Each structure stands twice: as C-alpha cells, then as structure tokens.
Amino acid sequence: MANSTSTPSFSTLLQRFFVEHLGHQRAVSPRTIAAYRDTFRLFLSFAEVRIGKAPTELALVDLDAGLILSFLDHLEKDRNNGARSRNARLAALRSFLKYSAHYDLTALPVIEQALAIPMKRFERPVLGFLSRHEMQAILEAPDPRTWAGQRDRALFSLMYNTGARVSEVIGLRVGDVVVDGTMAAHLRGKGRKQRSVPLWRSTTSLIRGWKHRLENATDDRFLFPSRSGERMARSNVTQRLALAVSAAAEQHPQLARRSISPHTIRHTTAMHLLQAGVDITVIALWLGHESPATTHVYLDADLSMKERTLDHLQPIGARPGRYRPPDQLMRFLQSL
C-alpha cells in the first residue's frame, strides 16, 4: 500500500506510465505511444496556462474533472477537434489515471471524479460496403498478364478474404501466408496482436501463382512489394485500388459514383460474413477486433439496411392503411 513517503510524484508516474506500463507491461505499438504522448503534450501545455503550473510542478490531484473538462472543451472550440479526437484524448488521460490510482491513494477521490467523465456520443456514418457482384468485378479488374496486375489480384483477394487492414497486408512477408497444408494468413494487427485467418481455395490459388512469379521469394521478403522490391505504401494500395475500381466501373457504372477505399473492402468482408450467417464473435476474431462490441457496428448496419428494405415492402394481399395522425402524447414523444 502506498504511503506519504513512498508516493511517487506526478512526473515520475507519467514517465513510468510510458516506459514501464505502455512500453513493457502492455507492449503497445509505437503508434499508440505516439498518440498518448501527443495527448499529454497538449494537456500539459494547456494546464500550464490554465492553472499556472509547469509540468514538473504538477501533482496528481491537479488533474481534477474541472481541468480535464476544460481541456476537452479547448480541444473542440479552440483546436476544432471532432468528437472522435476528443474521445481519443480522453481515453489516453483515463488510461494514465487508472494506472496512477494504484500508486497514489491520496488522489483517489480526484481520480474517481475524472474517470466519471463520459465519452462524447457522435453520429456514426453509415458503413459503405460492396455487393458480391461489385466486389467480384473489382477483384477481376487487374490484368493478370502483367506483373502489377497479378500482384493486385492476389493483394485485393487476400484483403477481401481476411478483412485485413492496409497496414497488416502490406507488412506481410512471403512466409506469413501458407498455401500448402493448412492454408492461412498470419497477420500482425493493432497493438502487435497476431491472428491467423483461413484462406479460400480461390485466394490460395492466386497467392500460390503470385509466389511463383516473385523473384527470390524467400520467406522474409515482402509478399506484395512495390516495383523496387520495397514495402508498398498505403497510398500505393489506394492508387492501385482506384485503377481497379475504374476498370470495374465499365461493367458496373455505379462504382464510379462511390467513394471506395481499401477499408471499404474490410467493411465488405464483415458484411458478407454476417449476411452468410457467421456468428458476430467469429467475425470479431476474423477482423482482429479486441472486443466483439466493436463488430456490432456491422450488425447495426445490416439491420438498418433490412429495415429500409422492409419499409418498401407490403405483405402479399395487404391493403394500404389510412393515415392516422398521432395523438398528442405520441406527437410529444416523437418530438423528443
């Protein structure tokens, strides 16, 4: 149990939080550490102006709910941050406070109040995904007679098969994708988490053919390299997908009017698995979601789509009903 003589300072706690907790105990990705670092740089600068204390002079009890709420308000009004950015900054602060609660019991009342600050709700955009025919047209668009076309076919097919993020698929090495025996792709996701996703025979066939075409296809070489043999950039994948969509739009003109990114393929994978009857917890594992709750956004999107379809349908033999205005109480409830 902590006491007055052993309670570490705020400065010490923050350094331990980054080095020991995030870096060693949780082994989070460098990207997460950078995001948390930027949050505290902004917060400490704000606190210095707000309460007149330099970062090294701050105490944990200074991080009360009032200061944090003022900081969040500053992010939205002065820095024009949206709800997502605001929530991400709050998540970083909450993570530190939860960690610090174990080491400074005197600050528990302040920490509890700060942890009670809720995330801000925001309207989530309707997920964009492709129909099976549209997805198939895009997969078949790259010219298999060319080096880049054969690579793109294998790349997009693997993305659709696995629902991989762009960062995961461009980081794949030749040895990460097994096409003999147990056919699977071994992906490294967010927070250095690893998962293995089974491959369809069609995907396996394309990957096997692509491996044969790669020069010096040793296990440690990038599976989908650029022309120079280096790792593909995110922008490169986006450009190649845009070319495939443009070619597919000749047969499916509606594709030209849509905004399609590599992440659209990930959404498409999830929705097609859901529509095929795959359990939501399995889809969460498939996509590498830390919690199945994250995957429920696809379930909500699927239900919304079905409700819109239902609105246009009437049971066979049903007669259109007469419109009846709602009574005052119902009108009140609808206005809320």
Q: Which is the catalytic residue, given 89, 165, 240, 272?
A: 165
Residue 269 φ/ψ region, left for φ over 0, alpha for ψ in the -120 to 50 degree band, beta for the rest: alpha
**Known catalytic membership, residue 289:** yes
| Cα–Cα separations (whole angstroms), residue 287 to 13, 85, 224, 273 | 35, 23, 20, 11
Alpha carbon 244 to its chain centroid, in Å, reads 24
Q: Which is the catalytic residue, given 53, 74, 173, 263?
A: 263
Q: Which is the catalytic residue, given 151, 188, 195, 289?
A: 289
Query: What six digits make up the tokens of 186?
Result: 């071994």
Rounded to whole angstroms, how far apart are CA atoms 115 and 263?
32
Q: Which is the catalytic residue, given 190, 221, 231, 296?
A: 190
H helix count then E strand count, the chain: 14, 3
CB pairs under 8 A, 24+ apart, for 68-75? 68/93, 68/114, 68/117, 69/117, 70/46, 71/42, 71/43, 71/46, 71/47, 72/117, 74/46, 75/42
**Known catalytic membership, residue 263:** yes
Provide the 3-class DSSP secondary structure of residue 9: coil
**Known catalytic membership, residue 132:** no
**Known catalytic membership, residue 190:** yes
| Cα–Cα separations (whole angstroms), residue 237 to 149, 184, 308 | 12, 22, 33
Cβ 194 vs Cβ 187: under 8 Å: yes
Query: What six digits make up the tokens of 272?
Result: 């097609």
**Known catalytic membership, residue 298:** yes
Rounded to whole angstroms, how far apart are CA atoms 262 and 156?
9
Cβ 68 vs Cβ 93: under 8 Å: yes
Rounded to whole angstroms, how far apart are CA atoms 75 and 39?
11
Q: Which is the catalytic residue, given 86, 188, 266, 272?
A: 266
**Known catalytic membership, residue 74:** no
Name the residues annotated as catalytic. 165, 190, 263, 266, 289, 298
